[in-house]
Amino acid sequence: MKKIWLVTIGLVVVVMGLMGLASCGSETATITSNNQQTGLWINGEGKVEVTPDVAILTLGIEAQETSVTVAQAKASEAMDKVMQALKAQGIEEKDIQTQYFSINQVTNWLDNKEQITGYRVTNTVTVKVRAIAKAGDVIDAVVAAGGDLSRVNGITFTVDEPASYYVQARELAITHATDKAKQMADKAGFKLGKITYITENSGNYGINYRNYISLEDAAMGTSAVPTPVSIGSLEITATVNIAYEIK
C-alpha cells in the first residue's frame, strides 16, 4: 500500500511541473501525448498595417420642446437639411442608414413629484464617406445644416475591401507558426511529421475617433475652424493554430 501512494504522489508532481512549464510565456506551444491531441500544437500570428479608405460617421439631430409635435417637426426639418447637405457632399443614399430614432419624455422632480417638462426627439444615422479625405468637410456641412440641433457622435475608419489584407496576415501567421515549430523541433531534438490539424482566427480591426462640435460653433452656422480628421492606420491580424506529428 505504501508503494502505491508513493507512485501516485510522484505522478502528481510530474503533472504539476508540466502544467507550470506550459503556462510560461505569452505564446502557445504544447506537446501532448494523449489519445485526443498528439504531437506538437503551436500558434502563429500575422499582422498587416493598412491605411483606411473609408470613414463611417455617426451623426444626426436632437430636438427638445415642451410639445412633442413641435419637437418632432423641428427634428424633421433639421434632419431634412442634414440629408440635403450630405447629398451635396456627394454621399449616396445607399451609404446613409438610420441607426437610431426615439421620442422620449423629459421629466423633472417638483414638490416630490415627477412631472413631464418636455419631449426629446433624436434621429441618428450612420454615413459611409468613401472619399475619406472629405470626412471633415462632411462633418462641417452637417453642423452648418442642422445648427444647434446637430449631433456628431463619432467617426470610425475602416477599409472597404479587407479580404486581401487578411490573406497577407494569414500567410504571415502560418510562416510564424512554421518557424516556431522548426525551432522547437531542432532545439528539443525531434523531427516534425505531417500537419494533422490547422485552424485560423481573424482579429477585429478599427480605430475610433470622436469629434465633438461646440454649440457656439454650430450657432454660427458653420464650424469656426474646419474640423481636423487624422486617418491614422489600421492593424489587421490573423492567428493560426497548427498541430504536427512528432517523429
Three cell numbers at 122? 433624436
Confidence of residue 214 (pLDDT cuts 50, 70, 90): very low
For the CA atoms of the chain, what is the radius of gyration?
29
pLDDT digit string (tens) for 85-110?
999 999 999 999 999 999 999 999 98
E strand or H helix at 230: none
E strand or H helix at 224: none
Residue 48 bridge partners (DSSP): 236
Q: Would the pTM count as exceeding 0.95?
A: no
Ordered by start, the domain boundaries in the chain are 2-50+176-203+238-246, 54-158
According to CATH, what is the number of the domain 54-158? 3.30.70.2970
* % of the chain residues with pLDDT over 70: 76
pLDDT digit string (tens) for 199-210?
998 765 544 444
How far is residue 17 from each of residues 21, 24, 81, 154, 185, measured CA to CA in Å? 6, 11, 69, 50, 21
Residues whose CB is less than 8 angstroms from the CB of residue 170 and which lie 6 or more positions away in sequence, other chains included: 46, 200, 202, 238, 240
Confidence of residue 10 (pLDDT cuts 50, 70, 90): very low
What is the rounded CA–CA span in Å between residue 221 and residue 149?
Answer: 11
CB contact burial 212-240 (16+ within 10 A = b; e otherwise): ebeeebbeeeebeeebebeeeebebbbbb
What is the rounded CA–CA span in Å between residue 8 and residue 1?
Answer: 11
